[in-house]
Structure 1
Amino acid sequence: MKVIIIGGVAAGTKAAAKLKREDRSAQVTILTKSEDISYAGCGLPYYVGDVIKERKQLIVNTPQSFAKLTGADVHTLTEVISIDRAAKEVTAVDLTTKEETRYSYDKLIIATGASPIRPRVEGAELKNVFYMRTPQDAQDLRDAAASGTIRRAVVAGGGFIGLEVAENLASQGIKVSVIDMAEHIMPGFDPEMAEFVENHLADEGIMPFTNTKLEAILGTEKVEKVQTSRKAMKADAAVLCLGIRPNTQFLDGSGIELTQGGTVLVNEYMQTNDADIYALGDCACVTNRITGAPAWSPMGSSANIEGRLAATGLAGEGKPYPGVLGTGIVKLPGLNAGRTGLTESAARDAGFDPVTVTCVVDDKAHYYPDASYFIIKLIADKKTERFLGIQCLGKGAVDKIIDIAVMALSMKAVLSDLENLDFAYAPPFSTAIHPLEHAVNILINKISGRLESITPSEFAAGAAEGYRVIDASMSPSIEGVDFLDLANVNGVQPQYAADDKLLLVCAKGKRAYMLQNRLKYYGYTNTKVLEGGTTFNGAEF
């Protein structure tokens, strides 16, 4: 079996290595236009910030070492320019000699990845305009940062890569602003969660400007200002992280079906509309595991899974790919952020009736050194109580919350499935009732009516209008409002009528819920708890 793989990095090299292990007789040839075949693209921002010390640490394999390790034939600086499906041949050009060569195949894998969007704006070719896609991109930005000539930088794009670059530049003492034309940074998070991160970044000295479009980059020879739809911002460097486009232009006229911005549409076995041609990684469009709708997941994790599945399929042991969940995680200054599954709005768009809760829970035993908290937003279907998604913010191990949720979503769990699980517990690692389980219990209480609350998004939209704010904290902490000490509420509170609209607020929401429970017992019928308390909604008080 003769297999041609177009592209390397994650998906292409994973498919090649796995296929050669499964079927040593397979003739596997990799054709890639890059000089590098396999590198850690997700590690590039950390090389910029000197967290990763040596460039060679980013290089997983050289073309020579990969060929020796796997037995695949590797051709770098070789760009495939067309596919002849009838003849089962690809035409490639040697980027050094400009010579064209035709390669025949029995099976073809397209793993051409994606390239950064290069905006057509004035000044995009000035010195100190950077991208972040290849090791050389990271090297260029790192060298410029280390030179001491960059004091101010503007990062255009508030996705994970842009934020990671911003963090790593800021760690070098560079003043960083992030601009994004969307209403909020961090696509894949609900607006109130993203807004919390925006406020946190501002507190950390990284200034986010949303609803702000990049219009031009100004300067004579190098970057001097970045012109936005809001104002001109002084800068010594501009890092453009405006997203990526799949490298599929060479497929024009091939008959390979494309979708979602030019990605290749594949089935559950990673096959295109031509059964002998597969597509993987950043250039492919798979499905959402919950909804079954087309989903683009340009992540190194997805690319590796897809490469492995395609290889086993070619070797005769095909297994269907159930799809992606939109899982992602990012490290920010003093805060980690992760998510998986559907957002509240995506769940509604998919036909569910979403119910949510936003809560603040301890991340480990409160008395243990370095204990902090998680802010968790859970999404479930109100009628069936099927778990649909989660977003989590915190200083600690956000990944463990997200990874447990991935398992639950993949198994189509309902909330009761997550209610009494035997999670690992010791004070350095968790709380006696696991933080995720704690959040699930709160949402179950909300659905059952035990907890009556206002979400942060509802609060921001004015849902608490007409309510009297009651401070339910351990000690008075909200200026200008009544304070009720839970420990002393042992009967009717004569200052309030039974049907008074009372909004109960504490630091995290727990004491407010306990106060609501007690007030209900004494006949109060119109209380609400503010989810997330002042920890999440602090800017409003």
Structure 2
Amino acid sequence: MTETFVIVGGDAAGMSAASKAKRERPDMDVIVFEKGEWVSYAACGMPYYVKGDVDDLDDLVAVTPEEFVEERDVDLRTGHEVVGIDRDDQTVTVDVDGDRFEQPYDHLLIGTGAHAIEPPFDGIDLEGVFTIHDMDEADAIDDYVADHDLETAAIVGGGYVGIEMAEALTARGLSVSLFEMLPHVLQPFGEPVAEVVEDHLREQGVDLHLETAVQGFVGDERVDTVELEDDAVSADLVIVGVGVAPNTELAEEAGIELGPTGAIAIDEYGRTNDERIYAAGDCAEATNVVTGEPDHVPLALTANRAGRAIGQTVTGSPTSVGKIAGTAIVKAFELGAARTGIVDPEQAREAGFDPVSVTIDAPTRPHYYPGATELTVTLLADRESERVLGASLVGRDGVKRVDTVATALSAELTVTELQNLDLAYAPPFSPTWDPILTAAKVLSGKLEG
């Protein structure tokens, strides 16, 4: 008898699962319900569309709906919203323009993603105030900049979106102010990275307001001012980028358990507390490779990898969704910043470690080779076990080296083992001692001292 695999959500996790399941079991009925019209798109590319580096919004789509249907034989139905799950009958209720029907399933994947957090700011509904978490929002921002004579922009939040949009809107000719409640931007990257990025943002003309709480927005239909506690700043356009929250309402209403992070709790294979229901992507937790505890770091690779694994599991080959290190990288004008694992000593202590760290500046190439720049590397380890816990990097070149540390975390390498890795060397690419090896060498000496 043919089994039916129903997927709720048509982005990274959902479409990866659908494609993998159909490849492994062509006879399986794979049905994807997506309430919007966009599927399988690169959300991380949206700031670069607004900036103008990406010419067409459709360029961000990896696989079109037509390709999923015609080439991959996936029953993809856009404009279909799943509004209920009946676990006893193993059905989902689907809404299409107000009409509803029931769809039975043998296996169900919840891939409902996350949504942009909208704080209760006064004036958040004014024209010209946006979040940027889906394709329609990116398109609306691009149109707004093109259609209006704008001079100033305000960005609320100094995370990935805030930094990337500061670059994008500066490139579009706007004078940008950025507001962050915390002492530094890019809080998960640590203070050494943040301070370098902040100096660079100021050099690029961004007006930084750190430890500054926004009170609301003012304007006559269209926004024109950001209100602070003791001040006001002009803004013809506002981007609110204060983070995202997992979409868990559908799961909660069906009695699917949430974990300590507030996202859907899953096991090694992506299963929820119902053995026939899985969750993956930005709505689901993952296991942190350093702490072994549930974590929620909504990133594209995590979603793709988990979806693909679940697609294989439902076809009869149980496959782990894998652990995460929270590895991330961001471009800030001419700088790059990256992080993996635990970079905050206080967070390490809370996880039961005794952290020791070093911060070094090292060249990305030998001093005699053209193009050498300084790379700042912070490396963190546990004093007793000497296990590598995490790292952060910032510089104009070479921050992708963070992947070496991410690999070390998965292998549970010690600092000495990291120091002794046989990494490639040639003058156009690296000095003899790669910056990661140099940081490990310095940290090893500190642990011995």
Change (3 A) 1:193 1:397: closer
Q: Aligned to 1:13, which of 12, 15, 30? A: 15
Counterpart-to-counterpart distance in 1, 2:173 and 2:310: 45
Structure 2: how far apart are the matches of 1:248 and 1:382? 39
Q: Is this contact kept in 1: 2:37–2:78, CA < 8 A?
A: yes
Name which of structure 1's ranges 285-294 and 275-284 shifts more when overlaid on structure 2: 285-294
Query: How far did 1:193 drift?
Result: 2.9
1:299 offset after TM fit, Å?
Answer: 0.6
CA deviation after TM superposition for structure 1 residue 223, in Å = 1.0
Larger RCO: 1 or 2 (CA < 8 Å, sep 6+): 2
Q: Indicate the RMSD between aligned Cα atoms, in angstroms.
A: 1.4
Aligned equivalents of 1:136 and 1:43: distance in 2? 13
Counterpart-to-counterpart distance in 1, 2:356 and 2:19: 44
Q: CA deviation at 1:191?
A: 2.7
- Superposition map of 1:34-433 within 5 A: 34-94=36-96, 96=97, 98-147=98-147, 149-260=149-260, 262-343=262-343, 344-399=345-400, 401-433=401-433
- 1:330–1:230 CA distance, 2 compared to 1 (3 A): farther
Q: Which moved more, 1:255-264 or 1:432-441?
A: 255-264
C-alpha distance 345-148 of structure 1, shift in aligned 2 (>3 A): same
Deviations, residues 86-108 of structure 1 (Å, cap 9, x unaligned): 000111111x3x10111100000
* Residues 1:439 and 2:433 aligned together: no
CA offset digits 1:293-352 (Å, max 9, x no partner): 110021111000000111111122112234111111000112100000112222111111
* 1:519 equivalent in structure 2: none
Structure 1 225/291 Cα, relative in aligned 2: closer, same or farther at 3 Å?
A: same
Please state how far the C-alpha of 1:209 moved relative to its aligned partner.
Answer: 1.7
* Aligned-pair identity (%): 38
**Native 8 Å contact 1:16 1:311 kept in 2:** yes
CA offsets 1:374-432 (integer angstroms, 9 cap, x no match): 10000011122111100000100201x11111111100000111223221111111001
1:123-154 per-position Cα deviation (integer Å, ceiling 9, x unaligned): 11111111211222111212222346221111
Q: Does the CA-based 8 Å contact 1:188-1:326 persist in structure 2?
A: no
Give the letter aligned to residue 291 of structure 2: T
Most deviating of 245-254 and 28-37: 245-254
* AA at the equivalent of 2:109: I
Q: Is the 8 A contact 2:214 2:226 kept in 1?
A: yes
Q: Residue 12 of structure 2 aligns to which amino acid in structure 1?
A: A
Which structure 2 residue ranges, 5 or more long, are not aligned?
none
User: How far apart are the structure 1 equivalents of 2:230 and 2:367?
Assistant: 44
Return the offset for 1:187. 2.8
Do residues 3 (structure 1) and 5 (structure 2) align?
yes
Cα distance in structure 1, aligned partners of 2:183 and 2:428: 38
Distance in 1 (CA, whole Å) between partners of 2:45 and 2:417 is: 36
SS for the counterpart of 2:103 is strand
Structure whose CA Rg is larger: 1
Which whole-Å CA distance do the structure 1 matches of 2:32 and 2:44 have between them?
A: 22
Q: Which stretch of structure 1 is more off in the superposition, 198-207 or 66-75? A: 198-207
Letter in 2 for 1:131: T
CA distance in 1, matches of 2:172, 2:146: 8
* In 1: Cα distance, 2:42 partner to 2:394 partner: 25
The 1:252–1:445 alpha-carbon spacing in structure 2 relative to 1, beyond 3 Å, is closer
